[in-house]
Amino acid sequence: MSWIVLHFIGIISYAASGAFVALEAEFSFIGVYALGLTTAFGAAMVRNFIIGVPVSELWVHSIILTVLMTLTIIVLLPQNWINHWKRWSLFFDSIGLSSFALQGAMSAKESFSDDLGVMILASMFTGIGGGMIRDIIAARKPLALKEEIHAILTILCAICIWLGWNTPLQLTLIVLFVIALRMSAIHYQWRLHLPCHHKKE
């Protein structure tokens, strides 16, 4: 599976996650489109603003058409499909997390050469920003703020790009590794045991 295919799956997954969250929150079909588009493009818009890249570069015809088609199909699906999505949501969301984080790091590298700090910021904003915006709009507690694995994985993606791992095969392997690590972390409830996590008795 090529990097381009995985990236498109990531875009579709993030748009779909926004749409299904909107349906769970009982938004109108306008809300479904709004939350789906916000989840798919919101974080990238923030990233481009931070690194000084024109937002207009995001408006690629094929990507916009893909997102709109995805949202239209979801609007027309029966309500019980939400339950099917829930079973696979974390898997596809992990594809979106990794592919968006890598895309953010690569965009920062193009503008700032090998500035690791900027690459990490761009990777984090792009990887978890869309999901955070989605959850806040839907009045949910953002998952990325409850579990540190999301931020850690975006940092890992940025470091990989900083090290020069940017061939299609390497990017695909990074995505697969991030998916496996995130799914394992959620399943086994891995946490960093920091002093702030210990409740007072």
Q: For 67-125, what is each residue's pLDDT tens digit?
A: 999 999 999 988 777 777 767 778 878 888 998 999 999 999 988 888 899 999 999 99
Q: Is 119 part of any domain?
A: yes
Q: Is 201 part of any domain?
A: no
pLDDT confidence bin for 13, thresholds 50/70/90 = confident
pLDDT confidence bin for 2, thresholds 50/70/90 = low
Q: Does the pTM of the predicted model rise above 0.85? A: yes
- Stretch 132-152: mean pLDDT: 87
Check pLDDT > 60 for residue 200. Answer: no
pLDDT at 127: 92
Q: How many domains does the chain have?
A: 1
Q: Could you read off the pLDDT of 151-178 as tens digits, one per residue? A: 999 999 999 999 999 898 899 899 999 9
Q: Which domain holds residue 92?
A: 3-190
- Decide if 119 contacts 108 (C-beta within 8 A): yes
pLDDT at 23: 87
Q: Is 153 part of any domain?
A: yes
Q: Is 200 part of any domain?
A: no
Distance in angstroms (rounded) separating the CA atoms of residues 85 and 20: 8
Q: Is 199 part of any domain?
A: no
Cα–Cα distance list, 178 to 21, 26, 124, 129, 185 (Å): 23, 32, 14, 17, 10
Check pLDDT > 80 for residue 54. Answer: yes
Distance in angstroms (rounded) separating the CA atoms of residues 176 and 160: 13
Q: Is 195 part of any domain?
A: no
Residues 6 or more apart from 197 whose CB is under 8 A from it? Answer: 191
Q: Is 12 part of any domain?
A: yes
Q: Is 18 part of any domain?
A: yes
